[in-house]
Amino acid sequence: MHIKQQIDELEGQAYSELAAAGTFAQLEEWRIRYLGKKSRLTEILRGLAALSIEERKEAGAVSNALKLKLEAAIKQKEESRREIELLSSASRDAIDISLPGRPFVRGRLHPVAQAMNEISDIFTAMGFQVMDGPEVEWDYYNFDMLNMPKEHPARAATDTFWLDAPPNDKGWRMLLRTHTSPMQVRTMEHTKPPIRIVVPGIVHRYEATDATHLSMFSQVEGLAVDEGISMADLKGTLHEFARRFFGPDRRVRFRCDFFPYVEPGAEMAVECAVCRGDGCRLCGGNGWIEVLGSGMVHPSVLEGVGIDSKKYSGFAFGMGIERIPLLKYGVEDIRLFYGSDLRFLRQF
């Protein structure tokens, strides 16, 4: 057979086998068969020796051209094979984004705890230290040292949960604290001024529960004692607190109030979030909502803990916490906060 014919035949065969080779292994076999050292092409070329110079020249050129063509063909085939491989592995290993995720149950802070933290943070930023005190308290701290001795009418005004326990050797009786103010006394008793503290905590009052009253609720107490503290410091500090907590455009109002352990005493009210002072259902029609009691620490309270009231003065305040999310979100019944109904609590 003429050598050119053999090469043509080989070419046809090579292409049809290449088309049939599907795997990388088959491609490799094909390469050895058609381009390797012992390939059919090499064999054919070996036969060139028997040919004339003219024929050899021609056959050499043809076979070289074929070699180049076959190399290009397998290169292309390998590339497309690799591409297919890549695509199929991508689809095989892909994440099924239509599969519903597993729900991740996250805990959250109770709205009252959130408010307490936020309030503590604001006062911390103003240089106050956060303190903690006992919920089971002596009447000595809850009343006596706050200018409410045994027969004082204010003692009876707050209905107290007394513990069924005998008094101690000093005649102190145990109760559930009716406010966080006993921590004023406890702190001043063992700390020299300057003092700046806030005390978040739970308090109890022997009261019927209704939409706006709870027998257990939370307060944040504040106390600042130093040389030269005045009513202006009280107003400035509490006004700044209100601006940071309720927003800079909310007005506040101070009015006289009475607490036996401060002189003078004041209540602070914040403009109602809903009606801005006009009066609506949330604020009970008067436009302002009382958020805290406050005043200048009474000289006899200072003297009681051994602080010289000629040298030092201070202000104190106590605010109820449950009211605050009530005001912020317009919740109508305060009892919802302690109903443990997650459908309600999860909204905050």
- Which residue's CB is nearer to ligand PHE, number 205 or number 250? 205
Nearest to ligand PHE of 262, 307 (CB atom): 262
Q: Which is nearer to ligand PHE, 267 or 271 (CB)?
A: 267
Measured in residues, the chain has a length of 348
3-state secondary structure of 168: coil
Residue 137's Cα: distance from chain center in Å? 34
Q: Residue 286 burial by CB count (10 A; 0-12/13-18/19+): exposed, middle or buried?
A: middle
DSSP 162: B
Binding mask 312-341 for ligand PHE (x = CB under 6 A): ----xxx-----------------------
Residue from 6, 63, 181, 313 touching ligand PHE (CB under 6 A): that is 181
Taking residue 151's Cβ as centre, other Cβ atoms within 10 Å add up to: 7
Strands 262-271 and 288-297: antiparallel
262 touches ligand PHE by CB under 6 A: yes
Q: Which is nearer to ligand PHE, 39 or 142 (CB)?
A: 142
Residue at shortest CB range from ligand PHE = 318
Asked if residue 18 binds ligand PHE (CB under 6 A), the reply is no
- Contact between residue 142 and residue 133 where contact means Cβ atoms under 8 Å apart: no
Q: What are the distances in angstroms from CA 147 to CA 102, 221, 237?
A: 59, 17, 25
Binding of residue 193 to ligand PHE (CB under 6 A)? no
Number of residues that bind ligand PHE (CB under 6 A): 11
The count of other CB atoms within 10 Å of the CB of residue 94 is 8
Shorter beta-carbon distance to ligand PHE: residue 222 or 287: 222
Q: Any contact of residue 179 with ligand PHE (CB under 6 A)?
A: yes
Least distance (Å) from ligand PHE to the CB of residue 154? 10
Window of 8-16, 160-168, 187-195, 287-295 that interacts with ligand PHE by CB under 6 A: 287-295
Name which position in 133, 200, 293, 314 contacts ligand PHE (CB under 6 A): 293
DSSP codes of every residue in 178-233: SSSTHHHHHHHHH-PSPEEEEEEEEEE-----BTTB-SEEEEEEEEEEEET--HHH
The piece of 10-18, 48-56, 310-318, 340-348 that touches ligand PHE (CB under 6 A) is 310-318
**Contacts to ligand PHE by CB under 6 A:** 179, 181, 259, 262, 265, 293-295, 316-318
